[in-house]
Chain A
Amino acid sequence: MITIDFKTISISDLAALVTNKFAEHNIKTILVGGACVAIYSNNRYLSYDLDFVTFETKGKIRKALAELGFEPKGKYFARADCPYFIEFVSPPVAVGQELIRKFKSLPTPFGQIVLLTPTDCVKDRLASFFHWQDKQALEQALMVFQDQEVDLQDIENWAKTENHLNKFKEFIKELKKTKIKSIK
């Protein structure tokens, strides 16, 4: 049996633990946001937020999370001895105007995490860069690209439909500077 130390648990183990607790309660969740970046960048980016998307009711969520010792604190759930917060983002899962229907399952010692694919995670970060000039989000997109297999053509097509092709070109320019992966 695995013992859980909530003080030192990794973000991916906690995400898996929560996902599996929800599954016990027949609650489907998708992990989105900065936690995906942390997982895909092997914690080069640190996030203390676990943002989940679900269509379930708050009552069911509260009951499931209470079994893990997480209690509601305003808009998020927290546990006194755990550095991470759990939040719920309004559905559906989308990056810009594109609705997302395919997700990635990642195995961990605590079970599976269902989360954005690396390509959608890059799009998610780029959406913040496109709309708010958020350079941190651009850096996070670069980190995920460096550490994961990402479909650049798909991202370019998406950027076109979002009317942000110029910003996408800035992303490519930054990618070329990193020189970690070859860019076509």
Chain B
Amino acid sequence: MLESLFGNESVERVLFYLVQNKTCYALQLKKQLQFALSSIQQALLRLESGGILVSTLVGKTRVFQFNPRYPFLKELSSFLQTAYESLPEEIKKKYYETRIRKRPRRTGKPL
């Protein structure tokens, strides 16, 4: 939908994913978005070098999020949210709103 604007589809998907999920890492996106890992990594690095995303190391995983200091973050988020809402429900559910547990789980707690 926005790939002509962003240059490629993986950038679009990464941004849509972050609009909904706040944080992400490359391997998670590979599974979730069903994209090649290299293309996801390139998209993340491109967005990071443009100042749109920032990343931190959590253990051995590089976790990305929107850069709260990006000067156009408010406008970009609003634009992405509007574009996201126009996606078909099945696409939203399949790629961006899968029902995985995000709330904390105490260590050692049985399922």
Which A residues fall within an 8 A CB radius of B? 75, 89-90, 92, 94-99, 127-128, 131
Contact = CB atoms under 8 A, between A and B. Distances in A.
A99 B69 contact: no
B69 A127 contact: yes
Contact of B51 (A90, A98, A131): A90
Helix, strand, loop or mixed for chain B's interface? loop
Interface string B47-74: 0011100000000000000001101011
Given A96-B69, A131-B68, A131-B69, A75 B74 contact: no
B56 to A, nearest CB: 9
Most chain A beta carbons < 10 A, residue from B50, B68, B73: B68
A89 B51 CA distance: 8
B49 A75 contact: yes
Interface residues of B, number: 8
A114 to B, nearest CB: 19
B49 A90 contact: yes
A90 B71 CA distance: 11
A99 B71 contact: yes
Contact of B71 (A94, A128, A131): A94
Contacts of A89: 51
Most chain A beta carbons < 10 A, residue from B50, B51, B68, B71: B71
Contacts of B73: 97
A163 B35 CA distance: 37
20 contacts: A75-B49, A89-B51, A90-B49, A90-B50, A90-B51, A92-B71, A94-B69, A94-B71, A95-B69, A96-B69, A96-B71, A97-B71, A97-B73, A97-B74, A98-B71, A99-B71, A127-B69, A128-B69, A131-B68, A131-B69
